[in-house]
């Protein structure tokens, strides 16, 4: 079922890759075949509720004896200060923007994700390459070009997409913390009004995520539901997946 790579129109990252393998050219000096760990990515737009779900998933997995590693966007030691600086100075070109994110991901891939996979951990990824693709897409960057760029990424075992509509998102973000310059796409100069800009930008992002759902086999969840309802659904699906992979392979569960 996973071996449909021959029918793909493009090189680079696409859903045709086998979970746990590189999307295409990979990292040439780092073979990863047969690593026992698993990557579970939670995707979704700004403020949708990813971190809340990941925190609860981590607790649940650890109680069952799984080793869990969390990784999140722009959290690499190497790139976080640079990305923060570039954002605050507000002088990012589109290409630099895309490459900074790719470098952040590359750094975390090599230093966090691959070692964790090798050691049999479950990697909970708060966003994955699809957020980078969505953000590049709304900035008019050629989609096949970005997919090709991320050919060094590893296809996750599961990708959950927390889907929301713009009205519910706006309510959630305003209640939680307000709108941020970058989350509002203010760099795109969609207008001076942060509310209008947030709405237009987030709608465009939601369209980008939606367009990737089939290609990358997202398991789409309705993120408008309550925290515990969503968590139950995630646990049910992840539990079923882990039971399957524990019985069919060496497994990731420590003795």
Ligand X SMILES: Nc1ncnc2c1ncn2[C@@H]1O[C@H](COP(=O)(O)OP(=O)(O)OP(=O)(O)O)[C@@H](O)[C@H]1O
**Would you tell me which residues interact with ligand X (CB under 6 A)?**
46-52, 172, 176, 226-227, 230
Residue nearest to Mg ion (CB): 51
Binding mask 33-72 for Mg ion (x = CB under 5 A): ------------------x---------------------
CA 94 to each of CA 87, 98, 176, 204: distance values in angstroms, whole numbers, following the listed order: 12, 6, 29, 17
**Nearest distance from residue 159's CB to Mg ion, in Å?**
17
**Nearest distance from residue 227's CB to ligand X, in Å?**
4
Rounded CA-CA distance 246/237 in Å is 14
**Nearest distance from residue 109's CB to ligand X, in Å?**
20
Looking at beta carbons only, is 16 or 49 nearer to ligand X? 49
74 binds Mg ion (CB under 5 A): no
**Strand intervals (E) in the chain:** 38-43, 68-72, 122-126, 158-163, 219-222
Residue nearest to ligand X (CB): 49
Token pair, residue 200, equals: 């237009």
Cβ atoms of residues 93 and 46 within 8 Å: no
| 226 binds, options Mg ion, ligand X, none, Cβ within 5 to 8 A by partner type | ligand X
DSSP 133-200: HHHHHHTT--HHHHHHHGGGSBPPSEEEEEE--HHHHHHHHHHHT---TTTTTGGG---S-HHHHHHH
The whole-angstrom distance between residue 85's C-alpha and the CA centroid of its chain comes to: 23
Rounded CA-CA distance 234/46 in Å is 19
| 176 binds, options Mg ion, ligand X, none, Cβ within 5 to 8 A by partner type | ligand X
Looking at beta carbons only, is 45 or 197 nearer to Mg ion? 45
| 2 binds, options ligand X, Mg ion, none, Cβ within 5 to 8 A by partner type | none
| 172 binds, options Mg ion, ligand X, none, Cβ within 5 to 8 A by partner type | ligand X
Q: Which residues bind Mg ion (CB under 5 A)?
A: 51
């Amino acid at each position: 079922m996973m071996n449909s790579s021959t029918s793909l129109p493009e090189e680079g990252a696409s859903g045709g890759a086998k979970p746990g393998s590189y999307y295409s050219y990979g990292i040439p000096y780092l073979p990863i075949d047969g690593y026992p760990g698993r990557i579970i990515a939670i995707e979704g737009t700004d403020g949708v509720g990813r971190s809340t779900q990941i925190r609860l998933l981590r607790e649940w997995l650890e109680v069952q004896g799984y080793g869990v590693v969390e990784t999140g966007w722009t959290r690499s030691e190497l790139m976080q200060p640079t990305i923060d600086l570039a954002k605050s100075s507000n002088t990012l070109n589109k290409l630099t923007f895309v490459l900074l994110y790719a470098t952040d991901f590359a750094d975390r891939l090599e230093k966090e994700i691959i070692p964790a996979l090798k050691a049999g951990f479950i990697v909970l990824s708060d966003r994955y390459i699809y957020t980078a693709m969505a953000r590049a897409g709304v900035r008019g960057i050629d989609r096949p070009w970005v997919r090709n760029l991320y050919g060094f990424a590893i296809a996750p075992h599961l990708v959950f997409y927390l889907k929301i509509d713009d009205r519910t998102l706006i309510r959630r973000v305003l209640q939680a913390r307000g709108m941020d310059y970058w989350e509002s796409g203010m760099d795109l100069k969609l207008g001076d009004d942060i509310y209008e800009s947030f709405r237009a930008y987030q709608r465009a992002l939601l369209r980008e995520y939606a367009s990737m759902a089939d290609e990358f086999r997202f398991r789409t969840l309705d993120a408008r539901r309550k925290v515990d309802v969503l968590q139950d659904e995630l646990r049910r699906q992840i539990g079923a997946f882990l039971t399957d992979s524990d019985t069919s392979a060496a497994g990731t569960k420590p003795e």
